[in-house]
Amino acid sequence: MQTTIRQRFENIDYLDIALWVLRIVIIVAVLWGTVATILDNPYSTEQWLDFLIFGLAQGSLYALIALGYTLVYGVLLMINFAHGEFFMAGIFTATVFVAIPLDASGFTDRHPIWALLVIAVVAIATSMGIAVLTERVAYRPLRRAPRLVPLITAIGASFFWQYFFRGLYGSGITAFPDVALLKGSWTILGLEILKSQVVVIVASVLMLIGLYIFVMRTRMGKAMRAVSEDKDVAALMGIDVDRVIMITFAVGAAMAGAAGVLYALMYRQVHFFMGFFPGLKAFTAAVLGGIGSVPGAALGGLLLGLFESVGPCLFLEGLGITSPYQLKDVIAFTMLVLVLLVRPQGIMGERLAEKKA
Amino acid sequence: MKYSKALSILMLTVLLVSACAPKAAPFECTDAIGCVTIAPGDPVRIGYALVLSGPNESLGIDSRNGIEIAVGDHDTKVLEHPIELVGEDAMCSAEGGQTALTKLAADPSLIGIIGTNCSSAGEPASRIASDAGMVLLSPSNTAPSLTNPDLAWNPGYFRICHNDNIQGAAMAKYVYEELGARTAATIHDGSPYADQLQEVFANTFKEMGGTITAQEAVNVGDTDMRPILTTIAVGSPDFLYYPIFIPEGAQITRQAGDIAGLENTTLAGADGMYSPDFVEAAGDACEGMYISGPNLAFENPIYDHFLEVHLEKYGKTLSVFHAQAYDGTMMLLAAIEKVAVQDEDGTLHIGRQDIRDALYATKDFDGITGNLNCDQYGDCADPEIAVNQLQNGEYVPLWTYVP
């Protein structure tokens, strides 16, 4: 099936040409901007490194949330748009019922590590509970329905949880109490890095590794992979498919719950709508990395965070665009489009076999 | 056939006779843009479109309290008709203003609307209310464009609060003269309010001899402000002005302290962040920062009375645009009283253009916020700007400015 160069030229149509022109224009613009910024470098090395660290911290949050999208997609081929709400539900509940009372009683100041652990446990447990409940009530009855049906249900579930928690805790912004232990910064390798960001990056990396081991090395992980290959055959092999799916949701939500705690440590405020944008970005990250792939979600999240942080000043400032940070979402989504043009399955995604497509 | 002809002749006669009877001539609407007729006993309906949900809801609830107190002070009655309030959530966005006003403008019995809070909602709101022949009185749209005939002005639009041409200039003057800052940077969020206010500030600051090191922008909903703050830190400005709203403003306030190069930078925002909710969202980090806004130290018996009623009905917590909402409602009611034509049976006829004319002609209206006079483009305020500092979570006015 080798095609000669001549044949390939004959098969080119106008759409292909337009797409190639688009790619070249974007790449030239990015290179132009980058070179111009570097020539007229207004930033010191420390500042560039700061941008990188900020991006890594933000990116590891995206990565943690993206895992939930990717796991569920891997097993069910369904995009769970309510995932951002699992993220919000856990930390919002933990802030209202744990973090604020503990802070008021002075416990957080005396035993910050214990306080953080309790907050994390409550947040993760709530996220998991909400996820399992959503799966049981809203998704399981639709398991055999056409694929658009659970997708729309997920959007509905997302709205439901947003407004449920708004009704429960109010629509204002609730401040997450400061943890004195995590104020200030550490000097690591000559770099001043905020303590909260170190915690976010380290915790995320540990959780990513933990999840990878869980999926690749445990019996349950094996069962998940089996279900993702083929539900019916997995059931014939004696795997309780419903249980595996429930656990998949729970594991994804646990990651989201943990991401919620890390988010609160970095941004110190929670509100009912906080899950929407991170959820959207994490979904983007999951698609970017190759939806269905665990390392892909991690890589996609980190790349997205880095591009959002470094991109505006690196690519756009050199082009003379004022207030480039308003365009950071444009950069994120342009990157997504570019990657999908070249690799429709995402950076680490596998090509879909016929049975899945 | 015959009968019907006879009947019509009879009816015509009756009509002619009744027309010639020595009764008052029935009201005939000669108003250029139509009249509202209110039958005896029917309510006079007034709309409001404020931000009633989301992170900035404290601004809208505060204004709504002002409207309700004004209506209460009128004994919920105007010209023997009960007053009925119809409210919509205009949120703090153009889409919100569009939706709320489209809904309100569909109600032909509405005479006027109090709103909106955010200038972003105000731009579409002003256009829709104007097209529907209504008047829109805003307690808190401060963007200069709304009363600029070359930009977003529409007939029938009025505002009771200051124009940001004044607030921006006041802040620049305070920063340059009182704080001694010579370099400044600004951040806006793309909304007409923030964008125009920082522009006025920057232009005035430059005219006075200062240097603007950066004018940056964030998006509504952003949380990670550290990259943009790092960009701003390159110019190491003495002063950073971000007249935006509560969620993003709180994030900038919290994160600015983490950035190398901004340790000695004075932080400041404007009336969009003048709310106890901002203090809650920003935590300890907002201590010592400056917030400009209308001077709320009103000293007059109306305000004393207002505060008394407010304390009783809604508690102690005040945000920033309650007095303006009160004055706007009072102005609208006064205009209705002035122009309404009342039939013997109590039916009210209100000309829509008459209401506009009456409001444009407002002279020396005695309100909480001062002595109100409307100009030809609807700027009615008697503005006095205060620069406040946050001390122990309270907004403490330090300096005031009258143009």
Q: So what's the pLDDT on residue B2?
A: 53
Q: From the CA of A43, how many Å to the nearest CA of chain B?
A: 7
Contacts of A85 (CB under 8 A, 6+ apart): A130, A157, A158, A161, A162, A165, A275, A279
Q: Per the domain annotation, does A25 fall within a domain?
A: no
Within 62-91 of B, beta carbons closer than 8 Å to A belong to: none
- pLDDT over 70 (residue A282): yes
For B280, which of A58, A173, A277 is closest by C-beta distance?
A: A173
Contact B86, B48 (CB under 8 A): yes
> Is there a domain that residue A137 lies in?
yes
| C-alpha to C-alpha distance for B288 and B393, rounded to whole angstroms | 9
CA B196 to chain A, closest CA, distance in angstroms equals 15
* Chain B contact for A308 (CB, 8 A cutoff): yes
Domain extent at residue A304: 42-207+250-342
Contacts of B231 in chain A (CB under 8 A): 313, 317, 325
Q: Which residues of A touch B221 (CB under 8 A)?
A: 276-277
Mean pLDDT of chain A: 87
What is the spatial distance between Cα A51 and Cα A42, in angstroms, rounded to a whole number? Answer: 13
Task: Enumerate the residues of chain B whose CB falls inside 8 A of the CB of residue A328.
Answer: 219, 227
Tell me which chain A residue has its CA closest to the CA of residue B189.
A326
Q: CA B333, B337, B339, B340 torsion: positive or negative?
A: positive
Domain segments of chain B as ranges: 35-163+299-384, 165-296+386-401
CATH number of B165-296+386-401: 3.40.50.150, 3.40.50.2300, 3.90.1150.50, 1.20.1270.360? 3.40.50.2300
Q: How far apart are the first and last CA of chain A?
A: 24
In this structure, is residue A222 part of a structural domain? no
- Which member of A268, A317, A328 has the closest CB to residue B283? A268
Cross-chain residue pair A173–B53, CB shorter than 8 Å: no
Cis preceding linkage at A45, omega within 30:
no
pLDDT of residue A46: 83
Strands B385-391 and B290-294: antiparallel
Chain A residues whose beta carbon lies within 8 Å of the beta carbon of residue B215: 322-323
What is the SS3 string spanning B56-68? CHHHHHHHHHHHH
What is the H or E stretch that residue B307 is in? helix B301-314
- Please report, in tens digits, the pLDDT of each residue of chain B (403 residues total): 556 666 566 555 555 555 554 456 677 888 888 899 999 989 999 999 999 988 888 899 999 999 999 999 999 999 889 999 999 999 999 999 999 999 999 999 999 999 899 999 999 999 999 999 999 999 999 999 999 999 989 999 999 999 999 999 999 999 999 999 999 999 999 899 999 999 999 999 999 999 999 999 999 888 889 889 998 998 899 999 999 999 999 999 999 988 888 988 999 999 989 988 899 888 888 999 999 999 988 989 999 999 999 999 999 888 889 999 999 999 999 999 999 998 888 899 999 999 999 999 999 999 999 999 999 999 999 999 999 999 998 999 999 999 8
Class of domain B35-163+299-384: alpha beta
Please determine, for residue A352, whether its predicted confidence score (pLDDT) is greater than 70: no
Other C-beta atoms closer than 10 Å to the C-beta of A240 total: 13
Min Cα–Cα distance to chain A from B261, Å: 10
Task: Kindly determine whether residue B55 and residue A308, on different chains, have CB atoms separated by under 8 Å.
Answer: no
Q: How far is B210 from chain A (nearest CA, A)?
A: 20
**Bigger pLDDT: A171 vs B127:** B127
pLDDT of res. A2: 58
N- to C-terminal Cα separation, chain B:
77
Contact list, A323 vs chain B (CB under 8 Å): 188, 215-217
Average pLDDT over residues A118-139: 94
- Report the chain B residue with the minimal C-alpha distance to residue A178: B283
pLDDT at residue B18 in the model: 53
Q: What is the pLDDT of residue A182?
A: 83
Q: What is the DSSP letter of B133?
A: T
Residue matched to tokens 């009456």: B358
Q: How do residues A299-333 score in pLDDT, each as one tens digit?
A: 999 999 999 988 888 888 878 777 788 888 888 88
pLDDT at A193: 85
Mutate to test the interface with A, among B218, B226, B287 (most CBs of A within 10 A): B226
- Cβ-defined contact of B280 to A174 (cutoff 8 Å): yes
CB within 8 Å: A313 and B231 = yes
Look at chain A and report how many structural domains it folds into: 1
CB contact, 8 Å: A41 with chain B?
no
Query: Looking at beta carbons, which residues of chain B come within 8 Å of A267?
Result: 223-224, 251, 254
Distance from CA of A95 to the nearest CA of B (A): 13
Give me the total of CB pairs closer than 8 Å, taking one residue from chain A and one from chain B: 94
Neighbours of A202 (CB within 10 A): 11
- What's the pLDDT score for residue B346? 87
Residue A171 at interface with chain B, using a CB cutoff of 8 Å:
yes
Question: Which tens digit of pLDDT belongs to each residue from A200-253?
Answer: 999 999 999 999 999 999 999 999 989 988 888 999 988 899 999 999 999 999
Tell me the per-residue pLDDT of A13-64, one tens digit each, with 9 for 90 and over. Answer: 788 888 888 888 888 888 888 888 888 878 888 888 888 989 999 999 999 9
Instruction: Give a yes or no: residue A6 inside a domain.
Output: no
Give a three-class secondary structure readout of chain A: CCCCHHHHHHHCCHHHHHHHHHHHHHHHHHHHHHHHHHHCCCCCHHHHHHHHHHHHHHHHHHHHHHHHHHHHHHHHCCCCCCHHHHHHHHHHHHHHHHHHHHHHHCHHHHCHHHHHHHHHHHHHHHHHHHHHHHHHHHHHHHCCCCCHHHHHHHHHHHHHHHHHHHHHHCCCCEECCCCHHHCCEEEECCEEEEHHHHHHHHHHHHHHHHHHHHHHHCHHHHHHHHHHHCHHHHHHCCCCHHHHHHHHHHHHHHHHHHHHHHHHHHHCEECCCCCHHHHHHHHHHHHHHCCCCHHHHHHHHHHHHHHHHHHHHHHHHHHCCCCHHHHHHHHHHHHHHHHHHHCCCCCCCCCCCCCCC
Minimum CA–CA partner of B284 in chain A: A178
What ipTM was assigned to the predicted interfaces of this complex? 0.80
- pLDDT at residue number B24: 60
Please report which confidence band the pLDDT of residue A351 belongs to, taking 50, 70 and 90 as the band edges: low
pLDDT of residue A326: 84
A2 lies in some domain:
no
Residue numbers of B between 160 and 189 with CB closer than 8 Å to A? 188
- Rounded to a whole number of angstroms, the distance from the CA of A36 to the nearest CA of chain B is 16
Question: What pLDDT does residue A356 have?
Answer: 45
Residue A230 lies in a domain: no
